[in-house]
Amino acid sequence: AQSVTQLGSHVSVSEGALVLLRCNYSSSVPPYLFWYVQYPNQGLQLLLKYTSAATLVKGINGFEAEFKKSETSFHLTKPSAHMRDAAEYFCAVSSNTGFQKLVFGTGTRLLVSP
Amino acid sequence: DTEVTQTPKHLVMGMTNKKSLKCEQHMGHRAMYWYKQKAKKPPELMFVYSYEKLSINESVPSRFSPECPNSSLLNLHLHALQPEDSALYLCASSQDWYTGELFFGEGSRLTVL
Protein backbone atom coordinates (compact mmCIF):
# COMPACT_ATOMS: atom_id res chain seq x y z
CA ALA A 1 0.00 0.00 0.00
CA GLN A 2 1.14 3.51 -0.76
CA SER A 3 0.86 6.65 1.33
CA VAL A 4 2.27 10.16 1.46
CA THR A 5 2.93 12.49 4.34
CA GLN A 6 3.05 16.23 3.88
CA LEU A 7 4.83 18.02 6.69
CA GLY A 8 3.21 21.32 7.59
CA SER A 9 -0.41 22.12 6.89
CA HIS A 10 0.58 25.75 6.28
CA VAL A 11 3.75 27.29 4.89
CA SER A 12 4.24 31.07 4.81
CA VAL A 13 6.81 32.82 2.65
CA SER A 14 7.46 36.32 1.44
CA GLU A 15 7.20 37.19 -2.22
CA GLY A 16 10.55 36.41 -3.86
CA ALA A 17 11.58 33.87 -1.22
CA LEU A 18 12.28 30.19 -1.75
CA VAL A 19 9.31 27.86 -1.59
CA LEU A 20 9.84 24.40 -0.07
CA LEU A 21 6.91 22.05 0.43
CA ARG A 22 7.75 18.67 1.92
CA CYS A 23 6.43 15.27 0.93
CA ASN A 24 7.55 11.84 2.08
CA TYR A 25 6.16 8.68 0.59
CA SER A 26 5.76 5.09 1.58
CA SER A 27 5.46 2.46 -1.10
CA SER A 28 6.22 -1.23 -1.33
CA VAL A 29 6.77 -0.95 -5.08
CA PRO A 30 8.38 1.72 -7.24
CA PRO A 31 6.00 4.63 -7.07
CA TYR A 32 4.65 7.25 -9.36
CA LEU A 33 4.66 10.59 -7.52
CA PHE A 34 2.77 13.77 -8.27
CA TRP A 35 2.24 17.28 -7.08
CA TYR A 36 -1.13 18.91 -7.69
CA VAL A 37 -2.15 22.50 -6.99
CA GLN A 38 -5.63 23.72 -6.11
CA TYR A 39 -6.48 27.40 -6.32
CA PRO A 40 -9.49 28.65 -4.35
CA ASN A 41 -12.80 27.38 -5.65
CA GLN A 42 -11.18 25.40 -8.42
CA GLY A 43 -10.30 21.81 -9.23
CA LEU A 44 -6.83 20.33 -9.00
CA GLN A 45 -4.14 20.94 -11.61
CA LEU A 46 -1.12 18.73 -12.17
CA LEU A 47 2.13 20.59 -11.43
CA LEU A 48 4.57 17.78 -12.14
CA LYS A 49 5.03 14.02 -12.00
CA TYR A 50 7.79 11.48 -11.37
CA THR A 51 7.51 8.19 -13.25
CA SER A 52 10.98 6.66 -12.77
CA ALA A 53 12.80 8.65 -15.44
CA ALA A 54 14.85 11.67 -14.33
CA THR A 55 14.94 12.18 -10.56
CA LEU A 56 14.75 15.97 -10.91
CA VAL A 57 11.39 16.82 -12.37
CA LYS A 58 10.49 20.21 -13.72
CA GLY A 59 6.87 21.29 -13.76
CA ILE A 60 4.75 24.23 -14.66
CA ASN A 61 4.94 27.73 -13.16
CA GLY A 62 8.63 27.36 -12.25
CA PHE A 63 8.16 24.50 -9.79
CA GLU A 64 10.39 21.45 -9.59
CA ALA A 65 10.74 18.40 -7.36
CA GLU A 66 13.50 15.91 -6.70
CA PHE A 67 12.88 12.22 -6.12
CA LYS A 68 15.24 10.92 -3.41
CA LYS A 69 14.82 7.20 -2.88
CA SER A 70 17.23 7.08 0.06
CA GLU A 71 15.10 9.65 1.90
CA THR A 72 11.75 8.50 0.45
CA SER A 73 11.09 12.14 -0.32
CA PHE A 74 9.66 14.17 -3.17
CA HIS A 75 9.85 17.78 -1.98
CA LEU A 76 8.49 20.61 -4.13
CA THR A 77 10.53 23.77 -4.60
CA LYS A 78 10.41 27.09 -6.41
CA PRO A 79 13.28 29.57 -6.24
CA SER A 80 11.14 32.71 -6.01
CA ALA A 81 7.56 32.85 -4.79
CA HIS A 82 4.89 34.95 -6.48
CA MET A 83 1.64 36.10 -4.97
CA ARG A 84 -0.21 33.97 -7.52
CA ASP A 85 1.42 30.83 -6.04
CA ALA A 86 -0.83 31.08 -2.99
CA ALA A 87 -2.88 27.89 -3.10
CA GLU A 88 -3.28 24.40 -1.64
CA TYR A 89 -0.68 21.88 -2.74
CA PHE A 90 -1.24 18.13 -2.66
CA CYS A 91 1.39 15.44 -2.99
CA ALA A 92 0.09 12.13 -4.32
CA VAL A 93 1.37 8.62 -4.99
CA SER A 94 0.23 5.71 -7.09
CA SER A 95 1.73 2.40 -8.04
CA ASN A 96 3.29 1.68 -11.41
CA THR A 97 1.99 -1.88 -11.28
CA GLY A 98 -1.43 -1.50 -12.74
CA PHE A 99 -4.79 -0.08 -11.87
CA GLN A 100 -4.17 1.51 -8.50
CA LYS A 101 -5.81 4.25 -6.56
CA LEU A 102 -4.11 7.64 -6.45
CA VAL A 103 -3.47 8.44 -2.78
CA PHE A 104 -3.33 12.11 -1.80
CA GLY A 105 -1.54 13.70 1.12
CA THR A 106 -3.41 15.99 3.47
CA GLY A 107 -2.27 19.10 1.64
CA THR A 108 -0.16 22.16 2.42
CA ARG A 109 -1.54 25.65 2.11
CA LEU A 110 1.05 28.07 0.77
CA LEU A 111 0.63 31.66 1.94
CA VAL A 112 2.62 34.37 0.16
CA SER A 113 2.97 37.80 1.71
CA PRO A 114 4.06 40.96 -0.11
CA ASP B 1 -8.84 26.63 -19.14
CA THR B 2 -10.01 23.25 -17.92
CA GLU B 3 -10.81 20.60 -20.50
CA VAL B 4 -13.09 18.79 -18.12
CA THR B 5 -16.41 20.60 -17.81
CA GLN B 6 -18.70 20.12 -14.84
CA THR B 7 -22.25 21.35 -14.42
CA PRO B 8 -23.76 22.81 -12.40
CA LYS B 9 -21.07 24.75 -10.54
CA HIS B 10 -23.33 25.15 -7.53
CA LEU B 11 -26.28 23.05 -6.41
CA VAL B 12 -28.54 23.36 -3.40
CA MET B 13 -30.93 20.51 -2.72
CA GLY B 14 -33.19 19.22 -0.04
CA MET B 15 -32.89 15.77 1.43
CA THR B 16 -35.83 14.46 -0.59
CA ASN B 17 -34.73 15.87 -3.95
CA LYS B 18 -33.27 14.02 -6.91
CA LYS B 19 -30.59 15.83 -8.85
CA SER B 20 -27.66 15.01 -11.10
CA LEU B 21 -24.12 16.28 -11.58
CA LYS B 22 -22.69 16.15 -15.07
CA CYS B 23 -19.15 15.92 -16.38
CA GLU B 24 -17.85 16.06 -19.94
CA GLN B 25 -14.40 15.70 -21.48
CA HIS B 26 -13.30 15.77 -25.10
CA MET B 27 -9.68 14.69 -24.71
CA GLY B 28 -10.32 11.10 -25.77
CA HIS B 29 -9.63 9.87 -22.25
CA ARG B 30 -10.99 6.43 -21.43
CA ALA B 31 -10.99 6.64 -17.64
CA MET B 32 -13.21 8.98 -15.64
CA TYR B 33 -13.50 9.55 -11.91
CA TRP B 34 -15.69 11.08 -9.26
CA TYR B 35 -14.04 12.52 -6.17
CA LYS B 36 -15.59 14.12 -3.09
CA GLN B 37 -13.72 16.90 -1.32
CA LYS B 38 -14.68 18.34 2.06
CA ALA B 39 -13.32 21.70 3.15
CA LYS B 40 -9.60 21.70 3.98
CA LYS B 41 -9.30 18.00 3.10
CA PRO B 42 -7.80 16.11 0.16
CA PRO B 43 -10.09 14.64 -2.49
CA GLU B 44 -11.52 11.21 -1.71
CA LEU B 45 -12.11 8.77 -4.54
CA MET B 46 -15.71 7.65 -5.03
CA PHE B 47 -15.93 5.92 -8.41
CA VAL B 48 -13.75 5.03 -11.37
CA TYR B 49 -14.98 4.19 -14.86
CA SER B 50 -12.59 2.61 -17.29
CA TYR B 51 -13.71 2.12 -20.87
CA GLU B 52 -17.25 3.02 -19.77
CA LYS B 53 -17.40 0.23 -17.19
CA LEU B 54 -17.48 0.81 -13.45
CA SER B 55 -14.11 -0.39 -12.22
CA ILE B 56 -13.93 0.97 -8.68
CA ASN B 57 -16.65 1.80 -6.18
CA GLU B 58 -15.11 2.94 -2.91
CA SER B 59 -18.01 1.68 -0.80
CA VAL B 60 -20.04 4.77 -1.58
CA PRO B 61 -23.62 4.85 -0.21
CA SER B 62 -26.30 3.94 -2.73
CA ARG B 63 -27.78 7.43 -2.56
CA PHE B 64 -24.96 8.26 -4.99
CA SER B 65 -25.41 6.54 -8.35
CA PRO B 66 -22.84 6.99 -11.12
CA GLU B 67 -23.52 6.59 -14.80
CA CYS B 68 -21.24 6.67 -17.83
CA PRO B 69 -23.41 7.00 -20.96
CA ASN B 70 -20.40 7.17 -23.27
CA SER B 71 -16.65 7.73 -23.16
CA SER B 72 -17.04 11.52 -22.93
CA LEU B 73 -19.77 11.80 -20.33
CA LEU B 74 -20.03 10.97 -16.66
CA ASN B 75 -23.02 11.60 -14.44
CA LEU B 76 -23.55 11.36 -10.71
CA HIS B 77 -27.18 10.92 -9.71
CA LEU B 78 -28.09 12.12 -6.24
CA HIS B 79 -31.09 11.02 -4.20
CA ALA B 80 -32.07 11.31 -0.55
CA LEU B 81 -28.79 12.93 0.42
CA GLN B 82 -27.82 13.94 3.92
CA PRO B 83 -26.43 17.31 5.07
CA GLU B 84 -23.04 15.66 5.62
CA ASP B 85 -22.91 14.98 1.87
CA SER B 86 -22.40 18.69 1.29
CA ALA B 87 -19.01 19.00 -0.40
CA LEU B 88 -17.18 19.85 -3.60
CA TYR B 89 -17.63 17.03 -6.11
CA LEU B 90 -14.79 16.79 -8.58
CA CYS B 91 -14.77 14.95 -11.87
CA ALA B 92 -11.49 13.90 -13.43
CA SER B 93 -10.29 11.97 -16.45
CA SER B 94 -7.10 10.25 -17.53
CA GLN B 95 -5.87 8.81 -20.79
CA ASP B 96 -6.54 5.19 -19.94
CA TRP B 97 -4.27 3.28 -17.58
CA TYR B 98 -4.36 4.70 -14.09
CA THR B 99 -1.01 6.45 -13.84
CA GLY B 100 -2.21 9.30 -11.67
CA GLU B 101 -2.07 11.99 -14.33
CA LEU B 102 -5.59 13.22 -13.82
CA PHE B 103 -7.26 16.19 -15.41
CA PHE B 104 -9.80 17.71 -13.04
CA GLY B 105 -12.86 19.83 -13.64
CA GLU B 106 -13.55 22.85 -11.47
CA GLY B 107 -16.06 20.93 -9.42
CA SER B 108 -19.70 21.15 -8.42
CA ARG B 109 -20.27 22.58 -4.99
CA LEU B 110 -23.20 20.77 -3.40
CA THR B 111 -25.16 21.98 -0.40
CA VAL B 112 -27.74 19.65 1.13
CA LEU B 113 -30.28 21.35 3.38
pLDDT band at A66 (very low <50, low <70, confident <90, very high): very high
| Contact by Cβ (8 Å): A78, A18 | yes
What would the pLDDT profile of B33-86 be if each residue is shown by its tens digit? 999 999 989 999 999 998 999 988 888 999 999 999 998 999 999 999 999 999
Q: Of A102, A106, A107, which is closest to B102 when you measure between CB atoms?
A: A102
Cβ–Cβ below 8 Å for B103 and A51: no
A83: closest CA of chain B, how far (Å): 20
* Cα–Cα distance measured from residue A40 to residue A54, given in angstroms and rounded to the nearest whole number: 31
Of A109, A114, A106, A35, the C-alpha closest to A81 is A114
More confident residue, B100 or B13: B13
* Cα–Cα distance measured from residue B56 to residue A16, given in angstroms and rounded to the nearest whole number: 43
pLDDT band at A108 (very low <50, low <70, confident <90, very high): very high
Chain A window 2-61: which residues touch B at a Cβ cutoff of 8 Å?
32, 34, 41-46, 49, 51
pLDDT band at B87 (very low <50, low <70, confident <90, very high): very high
Whole-number pLDDT of residue B84: 95
Kindly compute the dihedral angle of the four CA atoms of residues B78, B80, B82, B87, in this order, to the nearest 10 degrees. Answer: 10
